[in-house]
Amino acid sequence: MTDLSYHPSRGIRPGKLLEEFLEARDMSARELARRCGRSGKLIVEILAGKAPIEPETALQFERVLDMDADLWLGLEAHYRLQLAKAKEVERLASDSVWAARFPVKELEKRGLFAPAQGGNRVRQLLEFFGVGSVDACRERFDELAAVSYRHSPSFESHEEALIVWLRLGEREAEALDCAEYGKARFLQELRGIRELTVLSVEDFLPEVRKRCARAGVAFALVKPLKGVALSGISRWLSPRKALIQQSLRHKANDHFWFTFFHEAAHLLLHSRKAVFLDGNGYSNADPAQEEEANEWAANFLVPQAELRKFIARFDGTAEEVRAFAAEQGIAPGIVVGQLQKRGVLAYSQMNSLKDHYQWSE
């Protein structure tokens, strides 16, 4: 667990150590001042922590006390940093109400945050989001909201949870080494990824990450948060790197794979300035773009001309579905999902042909 809390006891006042050195040498502050050629007032203020140990003073202490100047300066820098952190925590405590809106308890459960309160909790969030201040955090959220909530105000009801979930995916993406994005390479990798649909989740997930990364796309599978009814998102992190993030919300392979290729379609076909959010039957995308992504994903998984031919001769048996899926080189559950979507099968039919996934604790 990463401990992002500040503990004042960890800061050692250099003057305290200096006092111990003087006692061990039976030397007074006045004598130290005389030997260093400095004023007695300065030494007293250093002992009290009111004046810093400057480089020139550290060099003099080195000669008089036989303790490296680097050590004195390091102690001083660390002490001043701890004082600054303590003051910052006090100042940030005024934003505790803001911090309380985020799902911090869930982040604790996931081992990302240590228990904290007040200003320490605010500091955790700022470090998590990679920003220096609450104002900078709000500005970043406003920029994200401007491109994320354009068409669907329903996303706004749990904005903080959504922002945290998006950041979790972003952090995973930052840790992935990806090649520079190339559209042709991405299409090539997608064809190979389609062949992985017949594998178990343990086998296909590492391959999906690897193949996407080769084309400049980070793939992140992030456990959903309460209040975030999303199946997947796609967005550009930079001109060189895109992100597909999924939640495994419906836990069935037909939904997982359709979501993946749907988000891939947004990257291939639509604006790089947009953040596409999809889930629970709604999307923030322009309806025409959403339909285009749906059609592209459906056809990429199962060529629709072939599916129509199959439907024309389909007698409603699981054996037929398995045989057709084998012909197409995809998992039977994906065929079932498309037949259910078209109304050929009821949503209660043939779900045993789908693979179902669970998050490990």
Query: How far apart, in Å, are the Cα atoms of 281 and each of 77, 195, 266, 278?
Result: 55, 27, 16, 8
Number of domains in the chain: 4
Listed residues 298, 313, 339: the one ending a domain: 298
Predicted model pTM: 0.82
Note the pLDDT of residue 149: 54
Listed residues 105, 131, 165: the one ending a domain: 165
Same domain? For 316 and 220 the reply is no
Average pLDDT rounded to a whole number, residues 102-119: 95
Average pLDDT rounded to a whole number, residues 52-65: 95
Note the pLDDT of residue 130: 94
Mind listing the pLDDT tens digit for each residue in 67-105? 999 999 999 999 999 999 889 889 999 999 999 999 999
Note the pLDDT of residue 361: 64
Note the Cα 9 to chain centre separation in Å. Answer: 31
Residue 293 lies in a domain: yes
Q: Which of 5-14, 34-43, 210-219 is the least confident region?
A: 5-14
Task: Pull the structure tokens for residue 234.
Answer: 């796609």
Same domain? For 182 and 292 the reply is yes
Same domain? For 290 and 307 the reply is no
Residue 3 lies in a domain: no
Same domain? For 256 and 147 the reply is no
48/30 Cα distance (integer angstroms): 14
Beta bridge partners of 217: 242
Same domain? For 198 and 229 the reply is yes
pLDDT exceeds 60 at position 3: no
Residue 171 lies in a domain: no
pLDDT exceeds 90 at position 11: no
Edge-to-edge strands of the sheet including 232-238? Answer: 217-221, 241-246, 232-238, 276-279, 282-283
Residue 39 lies in a domain: yes
Same domain? For 189 and 285 the reply is yes
pLDDT exceeds 70 at position 4: no
Same domain? For 243 and 336 the reply is no
Note the pLDDT of residue 223: 94
Same domain? For 83 and 129 the reply is no
Mind listing the pLDDT tens digit for each residue in 39-52? 999 999 999 999 99
Q: Which of 94-108, 238-252, 271-285 is the least confident region?
A: 271-285
Note the pLDDT of residue 147: 66
Residue 170 lies in a domain: no
- Residue 340 belongs to what domain range? 302-361
Find the CATH number of the domain harbouring 33. Answer: 1.10.260.40
pLDDT exceeds 90 at position 281: no
Residue 276 lies in a domain: yes
Same domain? For 290 and 252 the reply is yes
Same domain? For 90 and 110 the reply is no
Same domain? For 223 and 119 the reply is no
DSSP 294-358: HHHHHHHHS-HHHHHHHHHH--S-HHHHHHHHHHHTS-HHHHHHHHHHTTSS-TTSSGGGS-B--
Same domain? For 64 and 31 the reply is yes
Residue 1 lies in a domain: no
Residue 172 lies in a domain: no
Residue keyed to tokens 């209660």: 348
